[in-house]
Chains A and B, each alone.
Chain A
Amino acid sequence: MTQNERRAHVLMLAIASVATIATKRPQPGWSTSVPVAPKQSQLVLTPETPSKELRLRIEVPAEARAAQHTMGGLVRASLSVREWQHRGEDGSSSDQLTLTFRSDVGVPDHSSSVHLWDFKQPLGAGVHWPVIGPDSVCPPLPKPCVLEATATIEWTGAFIGEVVVSPSVDARLDVSTTSRRHQEQPPNSDLRVLEARWQDPDLPPER
């Protein structure tokens, strides 16, 4: 046992400890978590500070994922953003709203196989905007409008979908989910938890 070995051991102990502790990234900075009841719920969310982005996170619980996965099921989640109002940091308002649709933001070793977001603007010019793939930004939207976004997801692993509304808004959200073990069968109520939270935009989204 030499002094060099002792030093090397202490150094390795420190490196291995830090490697273990830093092996996982922190959760995104959710400041509000609102579990949503089964089937359908309405939420009214107001950001705590104007700089916060509204980030609606649709999450399928693990047990439902497992049940759906083994049966090759589909999950359908829809949401709408209503009566939104821009809250600028300087008190200004904007006539445009931008939504970013994100999907496949689960852990890297899981994958969702199909993502299709249908975007509608019923009170506007009848925009129908299908999006395939993650991080799709829709064109700027006129105000006022009612938005409906629908996601149909068939997954092979974890699924987490997000809709980011920017700039920050006061928004009323209607969230509903249905899941189907098979397309021809009636919806079941396996989906129990949805969350809509405010996220600090300075923190990276979970990927």
Chain B
Amino acid sequence: MLADPACKQRSRGNVRALVGRDRNSSPYPLLRPWVVASVFVLLLNDHVLKASVPGTVTGKLSDFAGLLFFPYLLHALWASVMPHRARLLPCVIATGLVFSAIQLDPTVGEMWAWALGGLQWLGWTGWAVIAGEATPPLRSVSHTADPTDLWALPMLGFSLRDAWAHRKRAPRP
């Protein structure tokens, strides 16, 4: 089947799309390789490594991975609603500000914990409705404000660089 040149071309396109090799031309920054990698690092760390190898490294790894991809995720969500108005730079700034606030201010951290808990509750409630089970109670998630997590802030440099490059390329009116 792959002997067909057209099929080979499609297959290469699939791979490129998945790993983001066409990053300079792709309109989807969420597909950049390091962004994809950071998402899977976060998943692996939160759900496997933290339990099996608890410690400072696994405690911080999710913060580093999360700050790497979250601006791109925010930008993608924004673009899905307002494709022509979405900008990466405000997403980078918002990520930095919110992340700093939840690590420095326990009240903001509590609000963040309830917001995440509410989103999880929506997911579990949807699942319970489908499965015909009782809806789960609304709970916040575990969150501890930790100023040392701010060590991960330099990871925003990746998305900031992209945002800056995009701004320089954008046509001036």
Contacts and interface: CB of A to CB of B under 8 A. Distances in A.
Interface of A: 1-2, 4-9, 12-13, 15-17, 19-27, 29, 62, 106-110, 158, 206-207
A1 B55 CA distance: 42
A189 B131 CA distance: 50
Given A2-B13, A2-B17, 9 more contacts: A1-B27, A4-B13, A9-B28, A16-B73, A16-B76, A20-B66, A22-B46, A26-B141, A109-B146
Interface string B113-143: 1001101100100000000000001011111
Given A13-B80, A109-B58, A110-B144, A21 B31 contact: no
Contacts of A19: 39, 42-43, 46
A17 B113 contact: no
A108 B50 CA distance: 7
Contacts of B18: 8
A36 B126 CA distance: 37
Given A9-B76, A109-B56, A23 B142 contact: no
Given A20-B66, A109-B59, A13 B142 contact: no
A62 B120 contact: no
B123 A109 contact: no
Contacts of A107: 59, 142, 144, 146
Nearest to B124: A26
Contact of B144 (A20, A21, A106): A106
Nearest to A25: B142
Interface string B15-59: 011100010001110110001100100110011001000111011
B26 A5 contact: yes
A27 B142 contact: yes
23 contacts: A4-B10, A4-B13, A4-B14, A5-B13, A6-B28, A8-B14, A12-B28, A12-B76, A13-B76, A16-B69, A19-B46, A21-B120, A23-B42, A24-B142, A24-B143, A26-B141, A27-B117, A27-B141, A106-B144, A108-B50, A108-B58, A109-B58, A109-B60
A17 B106 contact: no
A106 B59 CA distance: 12
Contacts of A6: 28
**Residue of A1, A17, A106, A109 contacting most chain B CB atoms (<10 Å):** A109
**Residue of A12, A27, A62 contacting most chain B CB atoms (<10 Å):** A12
